[in-house]
Structure 1
Amino acid sequence: MNEKVRVEKSGTIILPNHDRYDEKRKVWNARIDRRPAVIFECKSEADVISAVNYARQGDLEISIRGGGHHIDGTAVCDGGVMIDLSNMKDVKVDENRKVAVVEGGATLADVDAETQKYGLATPTGTVSETGIAGLALGGGFGYLRGKYGLTCDNIVSARMVTADGKAITVNKDNYPDLYWAICGGGGNFGVVTSFEFQLYPVGPNVLGIDVMYDYRDLKQILHGLKEYMKSAIDEISVNLAIMQLPPAPFLPEALHNKRVVSLSGMYIGELNREIEENVIEPLVSFAEPIMDQTGILPYVELQKKLDAMIDVAPFDGTSLFFEDLPEDAISTLMNAIENADLPMTLVQIWALHGKMNRIPADEKAFSIRDAGYLLLVDAIVPEDNPQKCRDWVNQLHKDLLPHSLRESAYVNGARIDANITESTYGNNYELLAKIKGKYDPDNLFCHNHNIAPKE
């Protein structure tokens, strides 16, 4: 091939000698350094078809880049075909149907910016630079999970390019088995070139929960959160994060290098004195706050508040679901945090309830409907001793596994591991394997939390 070859319609092929090759193979996790044989920079569904056909005919592995934010860098492969959707970012709103038509390379920011013009939103994540495709295919946890469910719960339909190079529309009536599978089953079944997402009235302003506590009060805060969640209403969402603050100039000097606990979240609904007293005030009084910036702000701004925490760096990490947080698990977690000799650790505990947990486990491929908490762990890998970070993550995962919910993880925040994949999909795994066997029998789409095809 030449250095730069036009493919059908509008896309471009980028080979290793192209001046943008190194830029295009970069993903959010700077630890990932893989070199595809070719990158198809797609601008249309026809380009995606060309890329899939090329890979199939050459017996090459495929990776698919939407936003490129997976912890294990699933967007980029070694020696295969990288299908880059990042130029396919169009978002259109059908106001009458309350549906957003979203191309596969769009980010959460792209989706929110367009849907909020109509006072609408679909459940997404909490970092606006994340790609919507990977988020939706693997689940999709955000601030609307209690009221409207996960991102995957709100896929109305999708346009897909399958392993045989066909472009199809998938929904409840058309390829219903494949539709079920893409609602949480990951990128195993094809390239989604566009989605239709259900929209709901949200914003333009919401109440953002934003309170910071001293780490020394963590146990007290967790006990308070556990009690609070027993009667939490659908309209509230709560995420807890444990981190050590940097010595940044925008922070008061007293907070430099201080380990803190932050609560972030959102309330959507009418505010009145009863809501303030019973729903909001408890969250800001689990202990004595260091800082409380809870208040009304635009939904699009709340969706971007955590972007600065997730900067490009070499990361490792893991995730686990829990039914509850027993004392032994809390002590194990605190011991690991306090003895992490690493540049940075970010430990998040998201409280789960409401609509996302009322959906039957077999209604969608995403089957974790009885978890009370999601643990997400991210740690920066030190350049001088990367193994130290891997060992710390591995040990924490091993120590917490006995306390977890069926050893299940959130596939969007976990390393690629066959045991994790099978444990997570549980009773849905066998059906997913059969659907995989039907639509991708040669496992062309394998650079993911892979489900091996089964006849």
Structure 2
Amino acid sequence: MNGNDYSGLTGKIVTKESCEYNQSIQSWNRAIEKYPSVIIYCYNDEDVINAVKWARNNSKEIRVRSGGHNYEGYSTGNNLVVIDVSKINSIYINEKEKIAKLGGGVRNREAYEAFGAKGYAFPGGGCPTVGVSGLILGGGWGYSSRYLGLASDSLVEAEIINYEGKKLVLNKNENSDLFWAIMGSGGCNFGIITSMTVELKKEANRATLLNINYPYDNEEVILNVILEIQKLFKNLDIKMNFKTAIYNSKEKGIGVKLVGLFYGSSSEAKKILKPILNITDDFEVNIEEKSLVECNRWIQDSHPEYEKYKSTGRFVFRDYSEKEISNLIKIIKNPSEGFYYTAISLYGLGGVISNINKLDTAYYYRDASFIMGIQSVWDEDKYSIENREWVKKNFKFIKTLTDGSFVNFPLDELESYEKEYYGDNIFRLRDIKRKYDPYNMFDYPQSIKVKK
């Protein structure tokens, strides 16, 4: 087996010689092509502890993987050890104490189904296979964020395996500084989360799914939709949130689309969205009341099984002029050669997110109005470079309109990334990194850095 001695390891070991190796190395972003020397699938805390100790004793570089959704592939790498916690996926819901304990490998869909079966809302993300631990580490945006808070805002305790292979319990009273850090620091900077205890949020059986599409190249309509959304979010009911995408699809052409969720009736939703619905008569609309589980399933099922893409996101703090919005539309009208789909999207923020002080958790940009995302998706590998360069080129303009970058939407080329992701919280985060990972055991291209 590669000439390495794997004695001491438990769990399932996959090497380059294993028949399942090619399947095991795949990231959700198929544009990520990395070839680790070994992948260790862990089924419990002991497997993770043994993997960390083995890697440290053998001076092996590690990455940690849960859902495998990191935009830039920081959960994998070439000729290193991937510690995969996706098999630690148990969910225990304690309705009496209003908490739920989730394994470090639980994914969005699993959480939505378990919580929904008990009649509770879950503040997860949109894509079904995103790991909840990775979501929480970066703060965690979702369609319920304005009403329920970020995914990390529900966290009441976590268990983490540190660089020595010791299990630490994190909460407001025990290792409270590290507990603060894992709510927004992103990636795997301090250790490996094996369990998360979260607060049970609102009981909710029904909600309204929002799906509005203006599927044609009409710049005036697209412009007016964005202008109205800017106005709407100033006083938007916290029970509503949505993502708005100015898109260009090779199959469907140019348009603007709104997808979201409202914890209320469809009639209420239509009243709130009236300024947008009155812009034109020529559009597709589905504002439908369903069970909350059905709403979340629809949103999740709208995502493909995988993609090849380059994408990132930054924070919006002000309204944009008609000229600035027109420039964003112009970017989408001029996609890369070989593109399949491209979009500039506004992910709604505000609501209860801004009720927490930006220094109270590691997630810093609580007073932003939106996250602005940009992405380019392609099918054929021969167009990979062109699509990546398109994003990097147009990111320069988006940077002039925004402040700070979202750590869960990382960009490999981002300059001064620590300051961009964490704002003034970076100074405290460095101190915590120095305390809990003094030898940089948990290191990756955009990890929090401390001097050895």
TM-score (norm 2): 0.92
- 1:438 is aligned to 435
Deviations 1:20-78 (A, max 9, x none): 11111111011111111211111011000111111112222211111011111122121
For residues 276 and 169 of structure 2, what CA distance do their matches in structure 1 show? 44
- 1:368 is aligned to 365
For residues 450 and 176 of structure 1, what CA distance do their matches in structure 2 show? 21
When the two chains are superposed, the root-mean-square deviation of aligned CA atoms in Å is: 2.2
Displacement after TM superposition at 1:147 (Å): 1.2
For residues 279 and 318 of structure 1, what CA distance do their matches in structure 2 show? 30
- 1:404 is aligned to 402
Q: Which amino acid aligns with 1:380?
A: V
Q: Which amino acid aligns with 1:399?
A: F
Q: Would you say 1:185 and 2:189 are equivalent positions?
A: no
Q: 1:194 to 1:8 in 2, by over 3 A?
A: farther
Displacement after TM superposition at 1:332 (Å): 2.5
Of residues 12-21 and 235-244 in structure 1, the stretch that sits farther from structure 2 once superposed is: 235-244
Displacement after TM superposition at 1:117 (Å): 1.6
Equivalence map 1:25-44=2 (5 Å): 25-44=25-44
Deviations 1:363-392 (A, max 9, x none): 000001121111112212442232211221
Q: What secondary structure is seen at the aligned counterpart in 1 of 2:74?
A: coil
Q: Which amino acid aligns with 2:421?
A: T
Q: Which amino acid aligns with 1:199?
A: L
- 2:136 is aligned to 136
Q: 1:289 to 1:8 in 2, by over 3 A?
A: farther
Q: Would you say 1:84 and 2:84 are equivalent positions?
A: yes
- Aligned to 1:319, which of 310, 313, 318? 313
For residues 272 and 19 of structure 1, what CA distance do their matches in structure 2 show? 51
Q: Which amino acid aligns with 2:84?
A: D
Question: Contact 2:76 / 2:82 at 8 angstroms: preserved in 1?
Answer: yes
- 1:309 is aligned to 303
Q: Would you say 1:447 and 2:412 are equivalent positions?
A: no
Question: Contact 1:213 / 1:288 at 8 angstroms: preserved in 2?
Answer: no
For residues 6 and 77 of structure 2, what CA distance do their matches in structure 1 show? 22
Sequence identity of aligned pairs in percent? 26
For residues 49 and 289 of structure 1, what CA distance do their matches in structure 2 show? 58
Equivalence map 1:349-360=2 (5 Å): 349-360=346-357
Deviations 1:297-350 (A, max 9, x none): 222232233444344222111211111242243223111111113222133211
Displacement after TM superposition at 1:276 (Å): 4.7
Displacement after TM superposition at 1:436 (Å): 0.4
Q: Which amino acid aligns with 1:176?
A: S
For residues 108 and 356 of structure 1, what CA distance do their matches in structure 2 show? 20
- 1:209 is aligned to 210
For residues 8 and 98 of structure 1, what CA distance do their matches in structure 2 show? 39
Equivalence map 1:281-296=2 (5 Å): 281-296=274-289
Q: What secondary structure is seen at the aligned counterpart in 1 of 2:397?
A: helix
Deviations 1:90-128 (A, max 9, x none): 111011121111111111011111111211123111112
For residues 6 and 94 of structure 2, what CA distance do their matches in structure 1 show? 33
Deviations 1:164-214 (A, max 9, x none): 110111111110000000001122010000101111124322111111114
For residues 279 and 219 of structure 1, what CA distance do their matches in structure 2 show? 19
Q: Which amino acid aligns with 2:254?
A: R
Displacement after TM superposition at 1:453 (Å): 2.1
Q: What secondary structure is seen at the aligned counterpart in 2 of 1:424?
A: helix
- 2:257 is aligned to 262
Question: Contact 1:61 / 1:77 at 8 angstroms: preserved in 2?
Answer: no
Equivalence map 1:371-386=2 (5 Å): 371-381=368-378, 382-386=380-384
User: Unpaired runs of 5+ in structure 1?
Assistant: 248-256
Q: 1:139 to 1:276 in 2, by over 3 A?
A: closer
Deviations 1:250-288 (A, max 9, x none): xxxxxxx3322111111114x496x35642434433433
Question: Contact 2:185 / 2:407 at 8 angstroms: preserved in 1?
Answer: no
Q: What secondary structure is seen at the aligned counterpart in 2 of 1:412?
A: coil
- 1:250 is aligned to none
- 1:420 is aligned to 417
User: Unpaired runs of 5+ in structure 2?
Assistant: none
- Aligned to 2:340, which of 334, 340, 343? 343
TM-score (norm 1): 0.92
Displacement after TM superposition at 1:292 (Å): 0.9
For residues 119 and 3 of structure 1, what CA distance do their matches in structure 2 show? 52
